[in-house]
Amino acid sequence: MDDMDKFIRQILADNGINSLDDDVMDNLVKEMKEYLINQIDIAAVSKLSDDKAEELKVKMEDPNFSDEDLKNFMKNSGVDLAQVALNTMLKFRNFYLNK
């Protein structure tokens, strides 16, 4: 189990959701994790400068542009990815805890 799984399981536990069947819980965590990762990706891309956003758009149209290329692009984009992830995770947590 990775840290994001633990994070999501803690949110569920804080909401009193801890008596689900293991398979149901695993599926719920998986779906929530996919949603959270998607939200982090959206937030990171939204932080790109206009020039970098245009550069990414062009690169994404290239069928040879791989996931690894995307990771490297974002890593070198000037966006503080750790801060974006942290802020997005806090918003996610607050949403699920109704804060």
Q: How confident is the model at residue 10 (pLDDT cuts 50, 70, 90)?
A: very high
Q: Which amino acid is at 78?
A: G
pLDDT tens readout for residues 14-59: 999 988 999 999 999 999 999 999 999 999 999 999 999 999 999 9
